[in-house]
Amino acid sequence: MKPLHYSSDDMWWGTLGTIRPFSNFRPDQDAMEIQAALDGKDAGTLVNLLTNRNNAQRQVIAVEYKKMTNKDLNACLKKALSGDLENLLLQLLMLPEHFDAQRLQDAMAGLGTDEETLMEILSTRSKEQLQQINNAFQQWFKKDLEKELRGETSGDFAKLVVALLKKGDSPAVVQRDVEALAASLDGKKANAVPWIEILTSRSSAHLENGEYLAHGACCSRSRADGLFLDSADGTGAAARTGAGADVGQRFQRRLSDGFEGFSSMHPEPGGLPGQEAEHHEDITGTRDHGVSQ
C-alpha cells in the first residue's frame, strides 16, 4: 500500500469539524478512482476519497460502482484490504442507522456493558433516528433492542436508557419542571424518576431555558453536583444527559483519549470519528480547524 497523502486541494480545512457534502461531487468519477485504487492497492486514495464524501454521497458511489463494475463495493474492499483499514472503510460505507445498531450490539456483547456508548447514542439521536436504529437492530440481529437494553442494564439506569429509546417531545412548562426537580432533591437520597422523565423527554431548547442545574432558587448547581455527578445509577447519567452536561465536550474528550498514542489506521473502539462527525454536526458550536469534515 502507498503511504497516505493529503493535499490542501483535496481536503476542506478550517470548517466546523464535520463531514459535509463534497461540493464537486461526481459519483461516476469517484467509482472509477476507487476501482483504480483497488487495482493499484492505493490505500491513500481510498481513504482520502471516502472520508471526503458524506454518508449519502458514499451510498451513491457504491451504487455507481455496482453499475460500472457489476461488483459489490463492500466485497471488493474486503478482498483487497485487511485489518483496521478494512474495518474503517467498511464502516464508512454503512448507513448511519446500521452503524449505530452495530455499536449498540457491540456495547452489550460479552461480559459487561459499555454504558458510555449506550448513553452517547441514545441521548444524541432524534426520535426518528432512534426508530431507524431500532428497525436496523431488529433486521440485523433478529432481536428487540428494548429487551436487550433491559436485559443488559438494571435499576434506574435501565429506566433511563429505555426512556431515551422511547423519547418523545412532551410539551411542558419550564417552571413546573424546575419545581419537580427541586422537590426530588429534598430527601437524603435523590429521586431519579423526575430527572429521567424530564431530561429524556424535553427538547434541548426547553432544557436550556430551564437551566436546571446551573441556576434556580431551589435547585443549585452545588446541590445537584453533590447528589448526582458521582452517582453510579441512572440518576447521575440522567443529569449528564440533559442541560447539566456539555455533550460536545464529552465527545471531544473521547476523541482525545482515543487518539492518544494513536498509530496507523485504528478505529477507536467507541465509534468511528468519521461517522460520528456526521451525527453531531454543530454539537459544540465551535470551530475545530484542521479536522476533516
* Highest-scoring range by mean pLDDT, 17-21, 183-187, 228-232: 183-187
Spatial separation of the C-alpha atoms in residues 293 and 22, rounded to whole Å: 9
467507541: which residue's cell? 270
For range 10-18, the mean pLDDT: 43
pLDDT tens, 245-269? 455 555 556 555 555 544 444 444 4
**Grid coordinates in use for 175?**
417552571
Spatial separation of the C-alpha atoms in residues 195 and 190, rounded to whole Å: 9
Spatial separation of the C-alpha atoms in residues 57 and 193, rounded to whole Å: 42
Q: How many CA atoms lie within 13 A of 21 on its CB side?
A: 9
The fold of 96-153 is Annexin V; domain 1 (1.10.220)
Spatial separation of the C-alpha atoms in residues 18 and 13, rounded to whole Å: 10
The fold of 1-93+264-293 is Annexin V; domain 1 (1.10.220)
Spatial separation of the C-alpha atoms in residues 4 and 140, rounded to whole Å: 33
pTM above 0.75, yes or no: no
Spatial separation of the C-alpha atoms in residues 261 and 251, rounded to whole Å: 18
Spatial separation of the C-alpha atoms in residues 229 and 240, rounded to whole Å: 8
pLDDT tens, 78-105? 999 999 999 999 999 999 999 999 999 9
* Alpha helix positions (H), the chain: 27-39, 43-51, 55-69, 73-80, 83-92, 96-108, 115-124, 127-141, 145-152, 155-165, 174-183, 192-201, 204-210, 221-228, 234-241, 247-259, 273-279
Least-confidence region, from 2-6, 162-166, 251-255, 273-277 = 2-6
Ranges of each domain in the chain: 1-93+264-293, 96-153, 174-245
One-letter amino acid for residue 273 of the chain: P
